[in-house]
């Protein structure tokens, strides 16, 4: 990509783990490109089907709804597709390539880097290459839970993915915050960022002020690329 084009490119923003109508409205108003709904029971941000369908109704055209799963069954994913009509699926567990492609819907595959088997740049790239049909590869930090931990990881672990000619769009996640995201953007230059804990007052309770500050930081860092 020419340097002129890359200076024009803005980093897309996904705000994840929304549970309240007012937080959806806040994220949309602040300029989020996507909002994430968590369909993973053990998460404090988990939403039920009815709740998700009503949150989905608040999201206007040109803002994507992303449905996040962790090792859900085919039936669970199909129910969400039917009742919530997400624009994109996010698989954040141990889902196989076959499972991810079985829904005939665009998906993002998450990799929890820094943990066992994903602790070198080459190992991370090899894991990603099992999912060539993903619309994006998302990188989160390894933690004992499956995600939304607020922990960050060493961006050097993405060096091989960043240089690979067959790389998919890179979505950076894991412990991002308004005051540190500019540095992360400089290091990784992702297509998009995904944040949950860093814009919250408590798990599942978003902060209007933190969302606004985060979007502002990403926008101004994108302009200075």
Q: Any idea which residues carry the catalytic annotation? A: 16, 140
Among the listed ranges 19-27, 40-48, 123-131, 211-219, the one in contact with ligand LGQLAAA5 (CB under 6 A) is 40-48
Closest CA to 36 of 18, 54, 57: 18
Helix, strand, coil shares of the chain as percentages rounded to 5?
40, 20, 40
Strand 107-113 to strand 136-141: parallel, antiparallel, or no bridges (unpaired)? parallel
Shorter beta-carbon distance to ligand LGQLAAA5: residue 21 or 145: 145
Whole-Å CA distances, 142 to 88, 101, 104, 112, 147: 23, 24, 28, 4, 8
Among the listed ranges 18-26, 34-42, 96-104, 158-166, the one in contact with ligand LGQLAAA5 (CB under 6 A) is 34-42
Sign of the C-alpha dihedral computed for residues 146, 152, 157 and 160 taken in this order: positive
Residue with tokens 């540095």: 183
Shorter beta-carbon distance to ligand LGQLAAA5: residue 125 or 140: 140
* Contact flag: residue 190 with ligand LGQLAAA5 (CB under 6 A): no
CA distance 176 to 181: 6
* Contact flag: residue 87 with ligand LGQLAAA5 (CB under 6 A): no
Letters for 162-181 (x = contact with ligand LGQLAAA5 by CB under 6 A, - = none) are -----------xxxx-----
Query: Closest distance between ligand LGQLAAA5 and the C-beta of residue 148, in Å?
Result: 3
Q: Which residues, 6 or more positions from 28, have their beta carbon under 8 angstroms from its beta carbon?
A: 35, 58, 59, 60, 63
Query: Closest distance between ligand LGQLAAA5 and the C-beta of residue 137, in Å?
Result: 12
Binding residues for ligand LGQLAAA5, per CB under 6 A?
Answer: 16-17, 36, 38, 40, 43, 45, 68, 70, 92, 138, 140, 146-150, 173-176, 194-198
């Amino acid at each position: 990509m020419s340097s002129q084009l890359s200076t024009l490119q803005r980093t897309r923003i996904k705000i994840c783990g929304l549970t309240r109508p007012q937080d959806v409205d806040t994220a949309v108003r602040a300029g989020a490109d996507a909002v994430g709904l968590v369909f993973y029971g053990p998460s404090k941000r988990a939403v039920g089907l009815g709740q998700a369908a009503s949150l989905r109704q608040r999201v206007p055209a040109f803002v994507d709804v992303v449905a996040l799963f962790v090792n859900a069954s085919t039936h669970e994913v199909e129910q969400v597709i039917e009742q919530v009509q997400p624009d994109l699926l996010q698989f954040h567990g141990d889902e196989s390539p076959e499972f991810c492609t079985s829904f005939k819907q665009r998906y993002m595959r998450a990799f929890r880097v820094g943990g066992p088997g994903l602790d070198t740049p080459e190992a991370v790239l090899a894991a990603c290459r099992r999912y060539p049909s993903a619309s994006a590869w998302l990188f989160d930090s390894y933690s004992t839970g499956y995600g939304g931990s607020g922990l960050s990881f060493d961006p050097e672990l993405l060096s091989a993915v960043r240089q690979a000619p067959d790389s998919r769009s890179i979505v950076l996640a894991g412990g991002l915050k308004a005051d540190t995201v500019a540095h992360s953007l400089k290091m990784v230059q992702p297509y998009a960022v995904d944040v949950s804990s860093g814009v919250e007052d408590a798990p599942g309770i978003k902060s209007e002020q933190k969302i606004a500050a985060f979007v502002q930081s990403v926008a101004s860092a994108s302009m200075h690329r």
